[in-house]
Structure 1
Amino acid sequence: MKTFKKLYILLFFAVLSLQAQQTPAPVQKGDITLTGGVAHIGNGEVIENSLIFITDGKIVGVYDATTTKRPLKGEIIKIDGQHVYPSFIALDTKLGLIEIEAVRATEDQDEIGEYNPHIEAIVAYNAESKVVESMRPNGVLLAQTVPQGGTISGESSVVQLDAWNWEDAAIKRGDGIHLNWPNSFRRGRWWLGEDAGYSPNKEYASNITEIKDFMSQSAAYEAGDSSIKNLPFAAMQGVLDGSQNLYVHVDSEKEILDVLKFKEEMNIDKLVLVGAYRAYKVADEIAKADVPVILARVHSLPEAEDDDYNISFKMAATLVEAGVKVALGNSGEYWEARNTPFYAGQTTAHGLSFEDALQLITKNAAEILGMSDQVGTLENGKDATFFVSTGNALEMKGNNLTHAFINGRSISLESHQTELWKRYMEKYDRTE
Structure 2
Amino acid sequence: MRQLLALAASAIALCAAPAVAQNVAMTGVTVATGDGSEPIEDGAVVVRDGKVVYAGPASGMPETAMPLVEAAPGTWVTPGLFATVTTLGIVDVSAVSDSNDTRAGGSPFSAALDVAPVVNPNSQNILVHRAAGITRAATTTLPSGSIFAGQGAIIDLDADGDPITRPKAFQMVDLGEGGARRAGGSRAAAYVLFRNALYEAQGLRGSTGTPQITEIAKDDEVFLSRFDAEALIPVLNGTQKLYVSVERAADIRSALALKGEFPKLDMVLVGASEGWLVAEEIAAAGVPVLADPLDALPYGFDELASTQSNIGRMKAAGVKVALNTAGMENPRRLAQQAGNLVGLAKIPGATGLSWGEAFAAITSIPADISGLGGQLGVLRPGAIGDVVIWDGDPLEVTSVPTKVYIGGVEQPLGNHQSRLRERYRDLDESDLPKAYDW
Q: What range describes the TM-score normalised by the shorter chain of this pair?
A: 0.7 to 0.9
8 Å contact 1:344–1:358 — kept in the other structure? Answer: yes
- Verify: 1:329 aligned to 2:304, yes or no: no
- Verify: 1:261 aligned to 2:253, yes or no: no
- Verify: 1:227 aligned to 2:227, yes or no: no
CA distance in 1 between counterparts of 2:136 and 2:185 reads 41
CA distance in 2 between counterparts of 1:313 and 1:170 reads 34
- TM-score normalised by length of structure 2: 0.82
CA distance in 1 between counterparts of 2:193 and 2:82 reads 34
- Verify: 1:207 aligned to 2:202, yes or no: no
Give 3-state SS (helix, strand or coil) of 1:427's partner: coil
Give 3-state SS (helix, strand or coil) of 1:313's partner: coil
Unaligned ranges ≥5, structure 1: 1-22, 190-200
CA distance in 2 between counterparts of 1:305 and 1:234 reads 34
CA distance in 1 between counterparts of 2:16 and 2:340 reads 32
Change (3 A) 1:392 1:122: same
Change (3 A) 1:394 1:114: farther
Change (3 A) 1:76 1:294: same
| Percentage of pairs with the same residue | 26
Q: Deviations over 1:334-363 (max 9, x none)?
A: 1x2111111111111222111111011111
Superposed displacement of residue 203, structure 1:
4.1
Alignment-derived partner of residue 125 in structure 1: 119
Superposed displacement of residue 154, structure 1:
0.3
Q: Deviations over 1:194-240 (max 9, x none)?
A: xxxxxxx9843343122112101102211256236842222222222
Alignment-derived partner of residue 82 in structure 2: 89
Q: How does 1:125-274 map to 2 (within 5 A)?
A: 125-149=119-143, 150-164=146-160, 168-183=162-177, 203-223=186-206, 226-227=212-213, 230-274=226-270
Name the aligned partner's letter for residue 326 of structure 1: V
Superposed displacement of residue 319, structure 1:
0.9
Superposed displacement of residue 428, structure 1:
5.2
Change (3 A) 1:275 1:355: same
Q: Deviations over 1:81-120 (max 9, x none)?
A: 4111111111111111111122111111122358622211
Aligned-residue CA RMSD (Å): 2.9
Name the aligned partner's letter for residue 280 of structure 2: D
Change (3 A) 1:202 1:383: closer
Say how many residue pairs are matched.
391
Change (3 A) 1:288 1:138: same
Q: How does 1:16-415 map to 2 (within 5 A)?
A: 26-29=18-21, 31-45=23-37, 46-68=39-61, 70-79=62-71, 81-111=74-104, 112=106, 116-149=110-143, 150-164=146-160, 168-183=162-177, 203-223=186-206, 226-227=212-213, 230-298=226-294, 301-303=297-299, 311-331=306-326, 333-334=328-329, 336-350=330-344, 351-397=352-398, 399-415=399-415
Give 3-state SS (helix, strand or coil) of 1:367's partner: helix
CA distance in 2 between counterparts of 1:393 and 1:400 reads 7
Superposed displacement of residue 265, structure 1:
1.1
Name the aligned partner's letter for residue 205 of structure 2: E
CA distance in 2 between counterparts of 1:307 and 1:282 reads 13
8 Å contact 1:326–1:360 — kept in the other structure? Answer: yes
8 Å contact 2:180–2:190 — kept in the other structure? Answer: no
Change (3 A) 1:366 1:113: same
Change (3 A) 1:110 1:25: farther
Superposed displacement of residue 284, structure 1:
1.1
Name the aligned partner's letter for residue 365 of structure 2: N
Superposed displacement of residue 158, structure 1:
0.9
Superposed displacement of residue 402, structure 1:
1.5
Change (3 A) 1:184 1:373: closer
Name the aligned partner's letter for residue 92 of structure 2: E
8 Å contact 1:183–1:255 — kept in the other structure? Answer: no
Superposed displacement of residue 182, structure 1:
4.5
8 Å contact 2:248–2:303 — kept in the other structure? Answer: no
CA distance in 2 between counterparts of 1:389 and 1:29 reads 20
